[in-house]
Structure 1
């Protein structure tokens, strides 16, 4: 009997027909539960509960042919429920019938079992969408068409995911075979441990250990955010070169450059807040590391081009000073190719400044239209997204068209971001894999199309195998879902979710897709994300002063108490409710010794009484004092507002005015370096030491001198600073 007829009869109450559906789909449901839970016994429980639930509710199905995808959602619900139970321990790798006997094994069986274990470890390392189709098709033996129906995705997506999974499995097993059974790849915890050990090795200048670790993990030569091997649990926005350089380890810096490290470190490659066009190597000189700065300058010049001379054409271009740029080129035509310390050419800066006339002048004088800066961005990419680390849609269409007309490469990223489906089809016809290839700036075509609302382009890319979870810069995974959700592109969100986009993947400092949809006020997308397993971060409810939600969640999951403190509190609440929320978290065991300094800082500025409560349970006022004393003024209502918070921390909370960060920088030095004269004067009256112990570059007067704050430097010298 055709499947649809069986499903229709089951829906209409025929128990024998439902029994037939159970026989047909129980293996697939069990395999899917294994994917989600990673434990055979839990998967059995979830599958049994799911079929009982399905039997009770099958009458709700409108279209009998939708039974497979409806059943998948039922299985997902019961797996999710199991994962959320308090104290759950998941035992990995027990998929399907592959339960390994724990008894001692003779030699041949030992090798066989170890190979099997490694195969399942490789399978576990796959992204969930690829793992699901692999288990259901390859291990459980279901036809691809049935897998597609069950997962609710197009058949071509199943084929693409299988193709990608097979390639990854083959690569990993080949690597393991080459290494030998006793030299297996480290697991995620070991990798993360070694990644963080590398940072410490670079900080102390241990070239030998750094070399060993980089040989094991060459993918992080320019920083962990460039690593696409696995999903990092948190942001790792640093590079070995920068850490070694600021700590003054010249031999290690030379070694890293010889190994091929980008001389423009990750930390400074893209624009970040006030650090827009400054010479980042001034930091090295201020610390007395002049030789390191010169070595890096030479490496920048070798890779990106001659650095700007005293004329500083890049500064003139950033200011859109056309007469100045024209005069500098007339004096020395080669200046059109000069670069700043992070590899930007004048054309990059003119594009960022949105000055079409200057762009024309530079192009007419031979500016390289496809020059890469230290972050891998061409002027055309800058026309799309600007220079900021945190991607912004800054489409400057006239400039982009001018660059393309004068030879700039019309890349898949550009075509996708501008909705040029004709150009994109041309490229994909030649090489379909371009649908998923990252640009040199580490953005992918899919996220460019998703961010700009080009639905048909998104679908075209997905049809050609684009992976919505593929790693992009500053992202845990892909950027597409977060962009589409935050901008309200519902159809794109739906298409991405249908192709396995993970709702929980976050973007640094920007949250996940659920947060983006919430921030943008897109209720339909929030519901869609919930239906695909997305959840709102607990701190979002705290920020909204939703004590009702916090109370319900903590009752079910008391271990979440440390997640309650938000990055900031919304304006439509009150401090009494915020205090009640944090008291509730404290009753469930929350402590704040390790709370984010940013979270504490914004609590100080919004709710001082809440901060006082946090300090009674582990928080320290010194961290926020260090942050606020030297913070950029634009984050506060005015100078008096910033000053008031410093006074509260010192007089109200007893913060030590002579505390210091891990590099020996005090609040006084922070304020001096930022030019906050009133805060400097106040700290001095409260006993701040103008000559604290620590490196010379970290002294308050050195900070004032190095940043050009002569008035503050005089004030410090009047207090015997030297």
Structure 2
């Protein structure tokens, strides 16, 4: 199961993908690319050398799998340590192919167990990649140092073998004196972390029995440096307090939580792992488990005294993540493959004392990546209301949630429920009946239908954006103002060039858009409903045609607030934006004005 990964710690390893060690998570490919820039992958170096045969007859013979030729050459006293042009020896090939018979022959003839090719790879490294206990034993008996760093990042044979899940290979290395708590020098990870990250509880158990530290931490990675393509080496400095976009400082339990490895999590907790330890970004194992959809691991951690109110550096709590994951985004480049419902976990969190009123005042980064950072969630309750999740809303209320807490942008739970910032096709939505039930419940609990947030956006504007006629009608029936204006600043810049204050109907038209790339998605039934009601109430639609028809008034140096009919005609000729036919707002151009303007020409404002 692929999962989104917020906190990074382990990397691909000095990946010998074509030699058998494969990444379990696509997110680790960056390190593989980093390694490729610095040195060829070991297996590729070995394979490439087969195209350059001739520098070593013995190595050439072993590469071909011709044991008889190799035996004959050795009988003639050929140099078994002679290398091919890239430094690969016959023993490299024997280890790569897990050819024990040939390895015996070569070792008896004096082959060096720690010979390194030009990429720095040794036979022991290849044996560890294969997880071959017998080959590792032969090489160790022949003098291979089981604690020697096998890559430029300091990976040891124990780390590499642990990643394969081959218990006997790990056991041989431990029996040969491998240092169980050694850390590689790039990410600061241990063999136990490597085993858990690949979901190998049997290996984890063996390592713990040999003294592996269940509370070891990987290196701290500052937000500014990143990791991967540029080859930045993480610093080991402890940041003192969590940083919003830093990573690292992960424990083995955090890896188990992230990967959903319940068996390893149980082993680690039994061995003394601290469930409340936090990473560089402030996430603990509980938050990581929930964030990645590992609800069984999260439930286990709650049962084992994890802190249910421990917020990360972005102020997100375990309860918020559980509410968020129950109503996860469905954006194309951020797929959510977890099908389990976290509702039982949410109930367990609440029963364990999770605070439904913990102030979040933030937006998950996934939403920002989708071009929609347009609502700030004050609490987990507001996130549930935003999803139209009536079952969850009622559950949170039953546990003391306050529906009247505003976000830092003064957004209300009613506004969130009505549809502010919702994007069809991007945001997971409950049924229209469920959302309407949430809206009604919020109004019944005293939420103001005309409350305006810091951008002047009202619940009616949100409902018009969503295009839900039933919610629009309900809000109008409850006194929502069709003649209200927003402050004309939420759509400025990246989300459209309009700086004109917009009316609720404009959100139904699509001008007050929350959609990426300013795509206009009009809702004709809602437009008709609102237009009819505005006419009945004598409310004039005053938004300029310039704003309604294209979003490109600024490109013609025309201020939409003061555009004249003649200027609008001029803009029509150069308009490149989206068109909303049949809607002209308060500055429609009559035919006589049009003819006059076309005759006289219109000079845009400078």
**Range into which the TM-score falls when normalised by the shorter chain:** 0.3 to 0.5
Give the TM-score taking structure 1 as reference length: 0.28
Structure with higher helix content? 1
Larger Rg: 2
Q: Larger relative CO (CA 8 A, sep 6+): 1 or 2?
A: 2
